[in-house]
Amino acid sequence: MKTVLITGTSSGYGLETARYFHAQGWKVIATMRRPQPDLLPQSERLTVLPLDVTDPDSIETCLAEAGPIDVLVNNAGIGMVGAFEASPMTQVRRLFETNTLAVMEMTQAVLPLMRQQGGGVIVNVTSSVVLAPSPFAAAYTATKTAIEGFSRALARELVAFDIGIKLVEPGYAPTTRFGANTELPIEDLIPPAYADFARPIFEAFATPSVTTREIDVAEAVWRAANDTSGQQRFPAGPDAVALWEASR
């Protein structure tokens, strides 16, 4: 029986991915900053552990409790939407700490474990913002683009150890807590000078023609974790797939 450890499972993609892997018969280590075991089914194959991905001590403790894992899914993250001119640099740094540096630190922590056991897979969840420019998401895009470059380079380093690095690129998912995870209200980050330009963009986001569902992402993570073809990037959701095809 294979084991997957997933970060950020209290809601959205992470929660659905934990449920999906469990349904496929895997052992699941579901991590969240404040554990809520009642979110997931009671099962001997499912363990909920506390994890703050920005805290090195928390990472060390979590991995020690988790034991050997076959797949790491770096899903935890936060968002920020607004004009970059109005974005506080303290929040931009927090964005990079969570979306970029924490992914690197989780990856670095599991690499010796996977190398010693003879292999494994790391799936990094980024975003479809890497596939096409997205106004009012400049800092967020930067954090995700950094992980894309990191993952592509790291994959070359790890070929000899049979450790795969995969990327899942979700589209726009209005049913997730992305808006709640931004911490700063969008309206506070749109100065009056940007209002006319921003209005039609946010109106379009309010009534999208196609969107991504949590299950789309869970299925993409599953395909990435089990892929043997050498494919590295997995767009998730019809809108992300359309952007992926347009960018090729």
* Active site (catalytic) residues: 140
- Euclidean distance between CA atoms 16 and 33, whole angstroms: 17
Closest by Cα among 100, 98, 114 to 149: 100
- Euclidean distance between CA atoms 54 and 45, whole angstroms: 26
The terminus-to-terminus CA distance of the chain in angstroms comes to 37
Provide the pairing of β-strand 71-74 with 46-50.
Answer: unpaired
Q: What DSSP designation does 71 have?
A: E
Q: What DSSP designation does 214 have?
A: H
Neighbours of 144 (CB within 10 A): 23
Residues paired with residue 123 on neighbouring β-strands, in sequence order: 73, 166
Instruction: Give me 217's structure tokens.
Output: 């992402």
- Euclidean distance between CA atoms 231 and 176, whole angstroms: 27
The contacts found for 16-21 with CB under 8 angstroms, 24 or more apart, are 16/214, 16/215, 16/217, 16/218, 17/73, 17/75, 17/217, 17/218, 17/221, 17/222, 18/46, 19/218, 20/215, 20/218, 20/219, 20/221, 20/222, 21/218, 21/222, 21/225
